[in-house]
């Protein structure tokens, strides 16, 4: 049996993000470890949205030039390594900008780790010094699952959790 997200969240997407953000920030208050922060964010967001198929981080590998390595996540097997510029995650790492993809099958060079993925959002994660440390990736089971509400909420959360 696969995991089912909580159903007691607000129906409005912005309100749902606000609620889960407050919970994440409360749980992480005083926690300095980046891996613990990533694991908590992945887990709590996966639990908040039923369309999320894969929720997690690809971390900039400090030992390889321009390459991401899988970090904490929730979901099925993820790709282990992604070069900057390849796929949606690599595009976010390369440009430093959030990528919202309504149909992953139409995205040139999309990396298909799970065939059930239909849409994707990837948000760059910067530290206090403004250096890219990771990208936050969410895949959904329906097309056009992500929009400006998701982008703004996730960008704001990443800043509060990793750059504050």
Strand partners for 82: 68
Number of helices (H), then strands (E), belonging to the chain: the values are: 4, 6
DSSP string, 73-118: EESSPPPSEEETTSHHHHHHHHHSS-EEES-GGGSTT---S-TT--
pLDDT at 5: 60
Q: Distance between CA atoms of 16 and 83, rounded to whole angstroms? A: 33
Q: Could you tell me where the DSSP H helices lie in 6-83?
A: 13-28, 34-46
Residue bearing tokens 């329906």: 142
pLDDT at 106: 85
pLDDT at 1: 37
pLDDT at 20: 96
pLDDT at 6: 67
Q: Which residues of 32-43 are buried (b: 16+ CB within 10 A; e: fewer)?
A: eebeebbbbbbb
pLDDT along the chain (164 residues), means of 10: 64 94 97 97 94 95 95 93 95 97 83 79 97 96 96 98 90
Closest to 117 measured CA to CA, from 150, 152, 151, 88: 88
Prediction pTM value: 0.93
Sign of the Cα torsion 86, 95, 155, 27 reads positive
**Residues sharing a CB contact under 8 Å with residue 62, sequence separation 6 or more, in sequence order:** none
Q: Distance between CA atoms of 142 and 119, rounded to whole angstroms? A: 6
């Amino acid at each position: 049996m696969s995991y089912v997200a909580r159903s007691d969240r607000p129906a409005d997407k912005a309100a749902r993000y606000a609620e889960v953000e407050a919970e994440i920030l409360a749980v992480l208050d005083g926690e300095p470890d980046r891996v613990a922060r990533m694991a908590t964010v992945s887990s709590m967001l996966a639990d908040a949205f039923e369309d999320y198929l894969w929720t997690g981080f690809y971390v900039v590998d400090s030992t390889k030039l321009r390459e991401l390595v899988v970090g904490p996540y929730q979901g099925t097997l993820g790709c282990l390594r992604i070069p900057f510029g390849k796929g949606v995650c690599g595009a976010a790492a390369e440009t430093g900008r959030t990528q919202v993809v309504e149909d992953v099958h139409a995205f040139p060079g999309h990396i298909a780790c799970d065939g059930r993925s239909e849409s994707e959002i990837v948000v760059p994660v910067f530290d206090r010094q403004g250096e890219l440390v990771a990208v936050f990736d969410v895949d959904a089971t329906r097309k056009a699952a992500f929009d400006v509400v998701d982008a703004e909420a996730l960008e704001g959360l990443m800043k509060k959790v990793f750059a504050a």
